Amino acid sequence: MSLILLDIDWRFFNRVYMGEKVSTYFWCVGIVLATLLLKRPMAALLTRISSKLTARFSYMQHKDTIREMLFKPMEQLVQTVLYFVAINQLDVLLDKIAIHHSMGVNGQLNIRLGDIIDHVFYFLFIVFFTRVITRFVDFIYYLRMGKAESEMNHSRLQLLPLIKEMAKLVLWILSGFWTLGSVFHVNVPALITGLGIGGVAIALAGKETVENFFAAFTILSDKPFQTGDVIKLGEIEGTVERIGFRSTRLRNADGSAYIIPNQNLVSQNLINLSARAARGMKVVANVKYGINHEALTQLIAKLKEAVTAIPPVREPVEVNIETFDKETFQLVISYQLPHPLPSDTSLAALKRDVNMRVFEILGANATMGTPVGTA
């Protein structure tokens, strides 16, 4: 009896519907269900294996970062591959379904559903595979930046972001050529040759972009400044936050961000303020005529003593008489600040303290003016 039932079961699985055996449909459904159940464990396993291909590091220490960067694209890649395997079980059925389109005198165009599905899955595979590789680049960048920050290696901190962006750009360009050649059957060598000829026109049209791109390499190789340095270009002064392909971003003391094309940084006179040990500052005050020599001498001495007593002001502190106007003359108080400043001191707060102290001393004499400017 059991042999008869077994024979009936096998005959059921061997029945053919629309060109496919019943067992093939079960295989397709089974692979889809297995994909839904196993895609996350498989993606987690592949993520852990791929992360171990990098340099030595503690997996548990970086587990959350690895999952955030690699898990999702890895899951999408695994899901795409397994769904393709499932759908491919029905290749006979899919090849029977075709789209026919009359081309007039050129004949008829026949497109099989199986070919469309193959190309769609192939395209998704290339996209998700490229995403996995680019996220892998991001993970390596994360590890190297952490090491560079711990070692205070400013050269690497400056160079690594540019290398990461270049690597990802190259990967997506290669992915685009792979898609054109494999999915759309474009003659890639001929396309590259055409792009080479048209590259001259593109370079001329994007002359400024090309100049800024090569200026970035000049900055990285010549190193006139590094990330974290304070630089001054004309009237613009700020801390270098990032050096990119096209521009460099500076952050001013008041929080404003300046985006400066790289070409300007290599073609104009630039001052690297971080290369100095001290920073010169000055306060300019207007003083009314009518003060005698003795009182002026005492005033200069008080200003010098008061500014010198403010930490972390350095010597020399000078108070000089400069411009003579119709009703007033100018006292210029010059002082030095260490560079870099102590971690618990801000430049804006320190300038305010000095200005307030000068204002207090000048205000004690009715014939005095008030500070008119600082530099």
CA distances from 102 to 97, 99, 109 (A): 17, 10, 6
| Whether residue 135 is found in the same domain as residue 268 | no
Instruction: Please indicate, yes or no, whether residues 337 and 318 belong to a single structural domain of this protein.
Output: yes
pLDDT tens, residue by residue, 234-280: 888 888 888 887 888 898 877 888 899 988 888 888 888 777 777 78
Do the domain assignments include residue 222?
no
Looking at the fold, whether 288 and 233 belong to one and the same domain comes out as no
According to the model, what pLDDT value does residue 160 have?
81
354-358: which pairs have CB atoms within 8 A and are 24 or more residues apart? Answer: 354/281, 354/283, 354/307, 354/310, 354/313, 355/283, 357/306, 357/307, 357/310, 358/283, 358/285, 358/303, 358/306, 358/307, 358/333
- Asked whether the bond before 312 is cis by omega within 30 degrees of 0, the reply is yes
In this structure, the answer to whether residues 123 and 267 fall within a common structural domain is no
Expressed as residue numbers, the domain containing 139 is: 12-199
Residues 252 and 370 in one domain: no
> Averaging pLDDT over each range in 25-34, 49-58, 128-137, which range is the top one?
128-137
- Give the mean model confidence (pLDDT) for residues 172-178: 89
Whether residues 262 and 139 share a domain: the answer is no
- Give the separation between CA 212 and CA 248, rounded to whole angstroms: 10
Here the CATH number for the domain that contains residue 325 is 3.30.70.100
Residue 77 and residue 129 in contact, taking contact as beta carbons nearer than 8 Å = yes
Residues 245 and 159 in one domain: no
**% residues pLDDT > 90 (the chain):** 2
Q: What is the mean pLDDT of residues 73-97?
A: 77
Same domain, 84 and 130: yes
Which residue type sits at 326?
A: K
pTM surpassing 0.75? Answer: no
- Whether residue 309 is found in the same domain as residue 172: no
My answer on whether 158 and 35 are in the same domain is yes
Contact 265, 211 (CB under 8 A): no
Q: Is residue 209 part of a domain?
A: no
Residue that finishes a domain, picked among 240, 273, 306: 273
Instruction: Give the number of domains in the chain.
Output: 3
Average pLDDT over residues 323-347: 83
Residues 151, 269: one domain? no
